[in-house]
Structures are given as C-alpha cells and as structure tokens.
Chain A
Amino acid sequence: MAHIEVAKERCKACELCTTACPFGLLRLSDDYNSAGDHYIVQDNPEKCIGCKLCAIQCPDTVIEVYK
C-alpha cells in the first residue's frame, strides 16, 4: 500500500506533477485553497504505487509520499 499527502495550502496549481504520474492519478481540484488557487487531488488513490515521481517533480515539494 502507498499513499500521498498534498499540502494544499502550498500548492500553486502549476500542474507539473500531473505530467509525472505514470497512471495519470493527479488533477486540479474544483475548489480553491486560501490563496485562491486550485490544488492537486488524487483520483483512484488505491492505484498509487508510491513511486515518488510526482513529489520529485513538484518544485515546491507539496507532495509527501508514504509507502
């Protein structure tokens, strides 16, 4: 089992991490954080393998990976 945690208040909605996930699990939320930005949410979390690629891609290290 693996999962990610997104520090949504620090997410800047650049979407770079969405290009890194081999399963396309990441997308922007419909709602906003307090800065007025969309933030990253994960669809089908059971498919996450904890490969870390999204977290390494994120320049602001918004994503934590647990495995």
Chain B
Amino acid sequence: MEQKIYGLPEGMNDKKTSFCPGCSHMAAYRTIVESLNELNERDNAVIVRPIGCSLNADYSFDIHAIQSMHGRASAVATGVARMHPEKTVLAYQGDGDAHSIGIAECLYAANRGEKMTCIVINNSVYGMTGGQMSGTTLLGQRTTTGIREFDNQGAPIHVAEMIAQLEAPGYVARAALYTPKDIMQAKKFMVKALRCQKELGKYSYIELLSFCPTNWGVKPVDCIKYAQENVLPVYPVGELKTCF
C-alpha cells in the first residue's frame, strides 16, 4: 500500500502564496516548519518578521508571528526572548533587512548572545521594495539603483563570517536553497541552529542563499546555474561555528 512520503508539512496550508514563481521564500519557511515539527517546538515558537517579501507568507503557516519595522526583527526578537526565555524565538529577515538597513540590530543581537535564531534570506537584493542594491549585492550585479562596483559601494558584505568571530553566538552557518541536496543540508543546519538556541540557550544565525528571479532578471529555471556560478564563489556554504 502506497503511503504519502513527502508533501506540505503539518502546520503549513495549501493556500497559494503571492511569491513570484521560483522564489525561495516558501522553501525557507518549509525548512523552518519541518525543523520545528521535528523538534516538537512549533507551538512554542514565535517568529518575528520585518518588512520585506517574507510578508507574502501571511496565513500560510501556523506559527505565532509578530511584525516589526524594516530592519528591526532582531531587536523585537530580543524583547520576546528576554520576556519569554522558554520560547523558541526566530527572526526571519532578508539581506536588505538584516545586512543593510538593520545591520546594527542584527549584529548587536548576535554580540549580546540573545537566546534567538536569526534566519537571513540572502538573495543579494532588496526584493519587495523594488530591486534596490543591498549590502550583499554582488560586484557587477545590476539592480534598480545601479550596478555594484568595488570603488563605489565596496565588496558584498559577509555578515555570517562577522558573526562567527563574535564570542557569544553558539551556531553560525550558511546554506543554500538551490538544489534538493542544498535544501536538505539547509534543513540539517536549521535543526542544529534551533537546538543550539533551545538546549544551550545560545544565539544562532543561519543564512539561506536564495533565488530572486524577478529582481535578478533571470528565468527561475536558470537561477540554479546563475547562483552556482555567481553567488557560491562569493558566499561559500558551510558551518562557521557550531556548538555540537
């Protein structure tokens, strides 16, 4: 007798979202929901989301959620984590958010070792606000506010590496949501990040390299090759700091 071996996890519904075709955001949310389910923590979790495309997932999963201002998810998550230390607290941010407009809040939450997990969807561009250049935009990448040049905007910023050399964080990793193999690795890292927060009371950071076909101007089906050739050489995946 055949049984269902894969599909939407418990806690996600089949409402069609307004993310663009090929966008990685829902793969990121699925990774989070699957990981929380595995740890039996979904009911005990609070996710803080700032402004960004992440909002398109409203009502598509069953996790307590708070909306923050642009860039400030890690600051709001700090408040939740300090008031409710028993909760699994997540900040779900984009690179325009955590690595650009809200880099101070992001870095200082890490430096304070808040008991939370910061998840950053890095697609090297501001998505929802219209494809502007972010801190992680690649050299030579075309955005709606110009083409990044080293002499003008500097090199793309490496926040995972910066956080990994701080004293307080317990777990720091970068994964990709490109191929099934990458997505499975991202899930493994996500479980570790959440366990580090829950079991050891430490700060975890996980960056998820993602597709933004719309603002890259790349057909979704060509994004895998584009990202492997252009993003991975700049942003290598792997664990940078681990507590297990």
| A-to-B contact residues, CB < 8 Å | 1-3, 7, 9-10, 12-16, 18-20, 35, 37, 50, 52-53, 55-57, 59-61, 63-67
Q: Which residues of B contact A12 (CB under 8 A)?
A: 20-22
In whole angstroms, how far apart are the Cα atoms of A7 and B6 in the complex?
Answer: 13
Partner of A65, one of B4, B12, B24, B184: B4
> Shortest distance in angstroms between B208's beta carbon and chain A's nearest beta carbon?
12
Judge whether B5 and A16 touch: CB under 8 Å: no
Query: What are the 4 A-B residue pairs with the smallest beta carbon separation, nearest first?
Result: A12-B21, A14-B22, A64-B7, A14-B220
Q: Which residues of B contact A53 (CB under 8 A)?
A: 180
Judge whether B21 and A20 touch: CB under 8 Å: no
Judge whether B221 and A7 touch: CB under 8 Å: no
Judge whether A56 and B183 touch: CB under 8 Å: yes
**Stretch in contact with the other chain, from B25-33, B136-144, B191-199:** B25-33
> Shortest distance in angstroms between A62's beta carbon and chain B's nearest beta carbon?
9
Judge whether B21 and A65 touch: CB under 8 Å: no
Judge whether A2 and B2 touch: CB under 8 Å: yes
Judge whether A61 and B16 touch: CB under 8 Å: no
Judge whether A14 and B12 touch: CB under 8 Å: no
| Interface status of B120 (Cβ within 8 A of chain A) | no
- Other contacts beyond A56-B183, A57-B180: 15, CB < 8 A: A1-B2, A10-B16, A14-B22, A16-B221, A19-B224, A52-B180, A56-B180, A59-B23, A59-B25, A60-B19, A61-B26, A61-B30, A65-B6, A66-B4, A67-B5
In whole angstroms, how far apart are the Cα atoms of A2 and B25 in the complex?
Answer: 28
Judge whether B27 and A59 touch: CB under 8 Å: yes
Q: Return the chain B residue nearest A51 by Cβ.
A: B180
Count A-B pairs with CB separation below 8 Å. Answer: 79
| B-to-A contact residues, CB < 8 Å | 2-8, 12, 14, 16-17, 19-27, 30, 177, 179-180, 183-184, 213, 220-221, 223-224
Q: Can you list 10 A-B pairs, Cβ within 8 angstroms, ordered by A?
A: A1-B2, A10-B14, A14-B213, A35-B16, A56-B6, A56-B184, A59-B22, A59-B30, A64-B7, A65-B5
Q: Which of A16, A53, A65 has the most CB of B within 10 A?
A: A16
Partner of B22, one of A16, A20, A66: A16
Judge whether A18 and B7 touch: CB under 8 Å: no
Partner of A57, one of B25, B179, B213: B179
Judge whether A60 and B4 touch: CB under 8 Å: no
Judge whether A13 and B2 touch: CB under 8 Å: no
In whole angstroms, how far apart are the Cα atoms of A20 and B27 in the complex?
Answer: 15
In whole angstroms, how far apart are the Cα atoms of A30 and B27 in the complex?
Answer: 26
